[in-house]
Amino acid sequence: MDIHIGGSNHPDAATAADGLGLDDPYFHACWAPLLDPWTTHAFAVSARIARARTQPVRLTLDQFSNVLNPVPASFQVRARTVGRALQDAAVKGLAAVRWQSHVRVDVSLYRQLSLVPDAELTRLTDPELSAHASTVSDLNRRRAAAGRPLLTLPPTATDRLRRADPAARPATPDPVETALTRLEGLSQRPTTSPDAPTLG
C-alpha cells in the first residue's frame, strides 16, 4: 500500500483565515491529549512532510509505519495501525483522507489547525483548557483587528476556568474587615439624642 501525503488549506474559510499553523504549540497542548498516540505521531510526521514539500510525497506502508512504530510487525498489523491513525485524523478534522483502493491512500493534511470543538473541551484537563482559552484570546485579537467575528467559549468552559483560577473568582469579603467597615461608618454618622436639651 502506498501513502501519498500532501497539504491543502482548511476547507473552513474562518479556520483557514485564522492561520493557526501546523507547528503551533496548540496541537500538542490541546489536540494531542484527545488523539490516539499513533495519530499524534502520524500527524507530526505528515505535518513535517507537508511543510517541507509543495508536492505530495509517496511513502510505502512499511516506510510510514516504521516511522510510527519501528518494531517488526505483520502487514495486517501495520495496515491496521496506519489506517486507524489516518481515520482518526480525518474524523477530528485535521486532514482529508481518501482511500483510492486497498493499495493507495491519499492524505491531504490541512495546513491550518482547527480549534478543538466545544463538545470535546470537557475531555481536556484544566491546564489544557487554559491553553485553549489563551489561543482563543490570541485569535480574537487578530480577528478584532481584521473586523472579523469573535470566537466564544461555552459557559461550561468559562465556569471551569473560573473555578480553576482563584484570581478569576470574585473575592470573598473578609468578615472582620466587613465588621470594621460597618463600625467605621456608624461612628461617622451624626448622633442625636431625644433627651438632649434644645435651645429656644
List, for residues 71-105, the tens digit of each pLDDT value: 556 777 777 778 888 888 888 888 898 888 777 88
Give pTM, 2 decimals. Answer: 0.73
Residue-level pLDDT at 198: 46
Note the pLDDT of residue 188. 56
Q: What are the backbone angles phi and psi of residue 59, rounded to the nearest 5°?
A: -125, 145
Q: Is residue 116, in this structure, part of any structural domain at all?
A: no
Task: Based on the fold, state whether residues 72 and 147 are members of the same structural domain.
Answer: no
Please tell me whether residues 144 and 65 are part of one structural domain: no
pLDDT at 175: 47
Structurally, the chain folds into a number of domains equal to 2
**Is residue 87, in this structure, part of any structural domain at all?**
yes
Residues 7 and 46 in one domain: yes
Give the structural domain span for 104: 2-110
CA distance 109 to 56: 10
Average pLDDT over residues 16-42: 88
Tell me what the mean pLDDT of segment 27-32 comes to.
93
Are 106 and 11 found together in one domain?
Answer: yes
Q: What is the pLDDT of residues 148-157, one digit of tens each?
A: 999 999 999 9
121-137 tens-digit pLDDT: 999 999 999 999 999 99
Does any domain span residue 148? Answer: yes
Residues 71 and 14 reside in one and the same domain: yes
Same-domain status, 30 and 83 = yes
191 within a domain of the structure (yes/no) = no
Average pLDDT over residues 134-144: 95
- Note whether 32 and 89 are same-domain residues: yes
Q: Which residues of 152-185 are buried (b: 16+ CB within 10 A; e: fewer)?
A: ebeeebeebbeeeeeeeeeeeeeeeeeeeeeeee
- Pair (35, 96) in one structural domain: yes
User: Which has the minimum average pLDDT: 121-135, 137-151, 157-171, 172-186?
Assistant: 172-186
For residues 72 and 158, membership in a common domain is answered with no
Based on the fold, state whether residues 102 and 143 are members of the same structural domain.
no
Residue written as cell 487578530? 142
In a domain, 155, yes or no: yes
Residue 194 located in a structural domain: no
Q: Given 92, 110, 128, which residue is the final one in a domain?
A: 110
Same structural domain, 81 and 157: no
Whether residues 100 and 147 fall in one domain? no
For 178-200, the pLDDT digits (tens) are 555 555 555 555 555 445 444 44
Strands 2-8 and 104-110: parallel
- Total residues found in the chain within this entry: 200
